[in-house]
Amino acid sequence: MKRTGPTNPHLQQLIRDLKKLSAEKQVNLWRRIAKDLERPTRIRRRVNLYKIEKYLRDGETAVVPGKLLSLGNLTKKAEIAAYQASQQTKEKIAKANAKFLTIPELMKKNPKGEKVRIIG
């Protein structure tokens, strides 16, 4: 069977933008996120909030190249970026005084990928 990759045009554009930013700024983080987003949906990362709580320090940024789910609570002030997130997850992040970003927003805000941790 021929591997086709993602068919969603928005996801295809995001992957191209991530690879372009990685080449321009010479940051391997963006290339790794693009590689993870190219994977099939059934094996893409799914991360619950309790994992972010466990592995993230205050002031850091977490990136989930997949779906962010709402199991657990968040107490740390941090920025969390994900490709997809449920509405309940976004509400829990807002209650914790943390900030939710999309991956393109994070790319614009932090193109060098400093203090960014991939979770999942």
Residue 4 predicted with pLDDT over 80:
no
- The verdict on residue 2 lying in a domain is no
- The verdict on residue 36 lying in a domain is yes
**Domain with 28 in it: what CATH number?**
3.100.10.10
DSSP summary character for residue 98? -
Residue 2 predicted with pLDDT over 80:
no
**Full residue range of the structural domain in which residue 37 is found:** 9-118
Q: For the residues 14-18, what does the mean pLDDT come to?
A: 97
Query: pTM of the predicted model, to two decimals?
Result: 0.91
Residue whose token pair is 């991939």: 118
Number of domains in the chain: 1
Cβ atoms within 10 A of the Cβ of 71, count?
Answer: 12
φ, ψ for residue 2, nearest 5 deg = -80, 130
Would you state the structure tokens that stand for residue 29, as one six-digit string?
């983080």
C-alpha 58/C-alpha 52 separation (Å) is 11
Residue whose token pair is 């509405």: 87
Computed over every residue of the chain, the mean pLDDT equals 94
Residue 1 predicted with pLDDT over 90:
no
Residue whose token pair is 């554009």: 13
- The verdict on residue 1 lying in a domain is no
Q: What percent of the chain has pLDDT over 70?
A: 100
